Amino acid sequence: MTDTAPTRIVFLLFPGITQLDFTAPAQALSRMPGARLAGAAATREAIVTDSGFAIVPTHDFAACPQADILCVPGGHGVADALGDAEAVDFVARQAAGAQWVTSVCTGAFLLGRAGLLAGRRATTHWAYTHLLPLVGAEPAPGRVVEDGNIVTSGGVTSGLDFALTLIARLRGDAVAQAIQLAIEYDPAPPFAGGHPDHAPAAVTEGLKARVYDAATARMAAALGG
């Protein structure tokens, strides 16, 4: 598709959201011709991110327009958001009318809680992939996994990959490539260790012990698993 008809992109916002899960894809998608972005939460009060600063939603759930693209970011706040019936209902209602339903990182579990991942291939942050069957999903490898109109992406920085993938679907490869060039997304990290497949085992195990053993246990409890 190369048309520039308006495309409404709605991001779910909630306390404890990982800032880059939201802002990375938002930055790329905002440059797509015809893009109209919105950030929705229960109220329009500022949402505190996991980075310590706040994001102000553009809409509350009741006033939010229907999304063409629904994006659900992740973060440690997902475990609490899973118990927020209003947020889960918003995801389900928006997804019913959206052309694309997407997530970044642990946002996949909110899609799952809304009943959207049953029988679907999906991905999430590497530390949580083993929990995907708790929402009926089939874990699949890759930074971006597409299954019909459901697009899930891995942890945090994968949101840029998902955004550029979707822009290419909607506006063509040349537009996506131009946006990638404009934001100078040309990764050359100082270490080849952004995934357990490449990171030193001691680094992976240390990070799991410090952060993710407890975090995944909390997520599993929130999912009832």
Transcribe the chain into DSSP letters: ------EEEEEE--TT--HHHHHHHHHHHHTSTTEEEEEEESSSSPEE-TTS-EE--SEETTTPPPPSEEEE--STTHHHHTT-HHHHHHHHHHHHH-SEEEEETTHHHHHHHTT--TT-EE---GGGGGGGGGGT-EE--SSEEEETTEEEE-STTHHHHHHHHHHHHHH-HHHHHHHHHHTT-----SSS-SSTTTS-HHHHHHHIIIIIHHHHHHHHHHHT-
Catalytic residue selected from 105, 166, 167, 179: 105
Hey, how many other C-beta atoms are within 10 angstroms of the C-beta on 38? 16
Residue 28 to residue 144: CA distance in whole angstroms: 15
Query: How many CA atoms does the CB half-sphere of 69 hold within 13 Å?
Result: 26
Known active-site residue 64: no
Residue 118 to residue 126: CA distance in whole angstroms: 20
Q: Which residues are catalytic, by number? A: 105
